[in-house]
Amino acid sequence: MTPIRYELIKTCKQTGARLGILHTPHGSFETPMFMPVGTLATVKTLSPEELKEMGAGVILSNTYHLWLRPGHDIVKEAGGLHSFMNWDRGILTDSGGFQVFSLSEFRRIEEEGVYFRNHLNGDQLFLSPEKAMEIQNALGSDIMMAFDECPPYPATYEYMKRSVERTSRWAERCLKAHQRPNEQGLFGIVQGGEFEDLRKQSAQDLVSLDFPGYAVGGLSVGEPKEVMNRVLEFTTPLLPANKPRYLMGVGSPDSLIDGAIRGIDMFDCVLPTRIGRNGTVMTSEGRVVIKNAKYARDFTPLDPNCDCYTCRNYTRAYIRHLIKCDETFGIRLTSYHNVYFLIKLMEQVRQAIREDRLGDFREQFFEQYGFNKP
């Protein structure tokens, strides 16, 4: 029996968003949830204790990166990723498909797999469904992702159709290569771009293989937000209501709320730590670029409505000073706040679902954050 189980608690009467619990071998966590990204076996600058205190449940890592460095064999020898990085809650690993397309040039896609260059030293590499499963098996993640192609945006219908069919064949090969289905859950990834019939074909192919969970891939690749929302509107209903739905690579606060409203349960995004590293923070009143001179004598917290460690103890002026001086403590404070902000945003989304008012919450949040400003 699969170690991953989704429990639907209730549906928001105002929007249709779902409140659920994701049960994993490393704990049970409420959804909708935001999953911090820990590419190289660390959520950059933050400790596991800090992640726990802010309420992180599942974090992400990646087949491609850990295969290259330190090597999945070393992680396996350490007893798997949980012990290697001292994280005893949930871990989801992406299959490397996306990274091959986003990090590497000169790639060649064949039926057997993808030939590409190591983005660190230019060596020729080959990744396949079987190889991606071997690596994720060694990493010991609670949730593995099928090896897929995330096509570029935009792509022609013909290209997208061939890609969807190959991704479905690759998903089947992943299932066959799955060595420990009772210990690790494997999610299928729905592709098809913005073409409704291809999304339907992809979803039907994958649902017929009965995965414990499904991801909506191929989005947040440069398409307008209206396109993403439209694709979600006709894709999530194709997925079983009793299985978790993961929207890959999303995202900004508005996209998290709009994704939850369209039936998504799980999100991941590098945004909080990535923009945090250049001193940009998400606050309840919109983005703050802390290097801006206007904060030089601003002795208030990053976000007046935030109770995180950073906002309780430090001022904008101090954090601006650290970031401008390239002091490491500065990016720790901004990263902590940004991850905390998205995790707490999802707590507010879950509370709004409990009280059947996620539509009202969306209005109020968008207004305060400034998403509705023309």
Ligand X SMILES: CNc1nc2c(CCNCC3CCCCC3)c3nc(N)[nH]c(=O)c3cc2[nH]1
Residue (97 or 263) nearer to ligand X, CB: 97
- Interacting residues with ligand X (CB under 6 A): 37, 39, 60-62, 94-95, 97-98, 145, 148, 150, 189, 217-221, 248-249, 268, 270
> Is 148:217 a contact under the CB 8 Å cutoff?
yes
Give me the least distance between CB of 88 and ligand X, in Å please: 19
- Amino acid identity of residue 88, one-letter, is D
Which member of 205, 258, 268, 303 is catalytic?
A: 268
For residues 83 and 94, give the distance between their C-alpha atoms in angstroms, rounded to a whole number. 19
Q: Which is nearer to ligand X, 152 or 359 (CB)?
A: 152
Q: Which is nearer to ligand X, 246 or 365 (CB)?
A: 246
Cβ 248 to ligand X, closest distance in Å?
A: 4
Q: What is the DSSP letter of 219?
A: -
CB of 229 to ligand X, least distance (A): 15
At 368, list the tokens.
Answer: 């305060």
User: Kind and range of the H or E element at 10?
Assistant: strand 5-11
Residue of closest CB approach to ligand X: 249
For residue 244, the tally of other CB atoms under 10 A from its CB is 30
Q: Is 268 among the catalytic positions? A: yes
**CB nearer to ligand X: pick between 249 and 301:** 249
HEC string of 249-304? CCCCHHHHHHHHHCCCCEEEECHHHHHHHCCEEEECCEEEECCCHHHCCCCCCCCC
Check: CB of residue 10 under 8 Å from CB of residue 353.
yes
Structure tokens at 230: 């439209």
| Longest Cα–Cα distance in the chain | 60
Minimal distance, residue 362 CB to ligand X, in Å:
22
Which of residues 265 and 303 has its CB atom nearest to ligand X in the complex? 265
Give yes or no for a contact between 11 and 17, defined as CB atoms under 8 angstroms apart: yes
H-run or E-run covering 229: helix 225-235
Nearest CA to 332 out of 47, 9, 112, 31 is that of 47
Q: How far is the CB of 50 from ligand X (least distance, A)?
A: 19
Residue whose CB is less far from ligand X, 155 or 322:
155
- Closer residue to ligand X (CB): 244 or 301: 244
The CA–CA distances, whole Å, from 145 to 174, 197, 325 equal 9, 23, 40
Pick the catalytic residue: 94, 148, 205, 258?
Answer: 94
Q: Which is nearer to ligand X, 251 or 330 (CB)?
A: 251
Tokens of 337: 């706040």
Q: Which of 188, 116, 201 is nearest to 157 (CA)?
A: 201
- Distance set, CA 51 to CA 64, 86, 248, 274, 340 (Å): 23, 12, 20, 16, 8
Say if CB 257 and CB 15 are below 8 A apart. no
- Between CA 341 and CA 124 the distance in angstroms is 40
Catalytic residues: 94, 268
